[in-house]
Amino acid sequence: MKNLVTIAGSDSSGGAGIQADLKTFCAHGVFGMSVITAVTAQNTQGVTGVQDIDPTMIKKQLEALLDDIQIHGIKIGMVSTINTITTIASFLRQVRNIPVVLDPVMVSKSGFHLLKPEAKKAMLDQLLPLATVVTPNLPEAEVITGLRVSSEAEMKKAGEAIYRLGPSNVLMKGGHLAGEEAVDMLYDGKNWYRYACQRIDTKNTHGTGCTLSASLVANLAKEMPMREAVEASKSYMKKAIEESFGIGNGPGPIHHFH
């Protein structure tokens, strides 16, 4: 059994964050653990409140795992504050040689700032260099690089700029591009690999970024090579979006099947 930990925020509506990650881990047949960085109050219509967990409590959660359990992979999602980021970075330096997938969560689809704007630099300086792969969507890629990203050529330019910040791989998620296809692109420092699939017409896409990064760390922990892991995670996502269903009045969650 592979033991994976997600370090992320809680979504009370169960579609994103820790809840999406644990459902994804379960569907991938790995054992899921969670270190909660923040609790959000939210439903399908938006985020109504956030309480960041005290970094000393985040440190205690991380140490409790480190002291007792072998960890085979780590996913990092919502990290909120500079102190939270510093705490996670020092934990990552103690667990070398396992896949670390960083989803650079910044703003929710409903427009809520999940990363404090002043914490952006800490994320780039302290977490990106420790990531096996970082998975920005296009708005996140624009915030990270300051570049405009609205075509595949611009995705490559921004992806290479993000690679220079230190991660081993960059997976650029092109879901925000217009077009018939949803195109993601992987850069390993040498080559670009393109992953395209038919765009699925649904409003139920809450938690897609969380799910993709959790699926990716599960596949990497199961020792799939990076290119194959991205392919497998993209097809998991496609099925989860196809099988999504509505709960509430806003964009619903995607579906995690077994």
Q: How many C-beta neighbours within 10 Å does residue 64 have?
A: 12
CA-to-CA distance for 28 and 255, rounded, in angstroms? 13
Structure tokens at 158: 């921004």
- Given the residues 32, 75, 210, 234, select the one marked as catalytic: 210
Q: Which is nearer to ligand PLP, 140 or 154 (CB)?
A: 140
Structure tokens at 108: 């929710």
With a CB cutoff of 8 Å and minimum separation 6, the contacts of 209 are 16, 103, 105, 135, 137, 173
Choosing from 40, 81, 208, 211, the catalytic residue is 208
Asked whether the beta carbons of 92 and 131 are under 8 A apart, the reply is no
* 105 belongs to the binding site for ligand PLP (CB under 6 A): yes
Closest approach of Cβ 110 to ligand PLP, in Å?
6
Told to check if 108 binds ligand PLP by CB under 6 A, we report yes
Q: Which of 26, 83, 109, 163 binds ligand PLP (CB under 6 A)?
A: 109
Q: Which of 23, 59, 173, 234 is catalytic?
A: 173
Query: Which residue stretch of 24-32, 150-158, 169-177, 200-208 sits at the interface with ligand PLP (rule: CB under 6 A)?
Result: 200-208
DSSP string for residues in 190-237: S-EEEEEEEPP--S--BTHHHHHHHHHHHHHHTT--HHHHHHHHHHHH
Q: Which is nearer to ligand PLP, 189 or 248 (CB)?
A: 248
| 210 makes contact with ligand PLP (CB under 6 A) | yes
- Contact between 8 and ligand PLP by CB under 6 A: the answer reads yes
Cβ 127 to ligand PLP shortest distance, Å: 14
Report d(CA 214, CA 234) in Å as an integer: 11
Residue from 6, 8, 12, 25 nearest 247 by CA:
12
Catalytic annotation present for 26: no
207 binds ligand PLP (CB under 6 A): yes
Q: Tell me if 78 contacts ligand PLP by CB under 6 A.
A: yes
* Cα 197 from Cα 119, distance rounded (Å): 34
Query: Contact 6/209 with Cβ under 8 angstroms?
Result: no
Residue 77 binding ligand PLP, by CB under 6 A? yes
Give CA 28 to chain center in angstroms: 16
206 near ligand PLP, judged by CB under 6 A:
yes
**Known catalytic residue: 210?**
yes
Residue of 77, 205, 211, 250 marked active site: 205
Min. distance of Cβ 209 from ligand PLP in angstroms?
Answer: 5
The residues carrying an active-site annotation are 173, 205, 207-210
- Give residues in contact with ligand PLP (CB under 6 A): 8-9, 11, 16-17, 40, 77-78, 105, 108-109, 114, 206-210
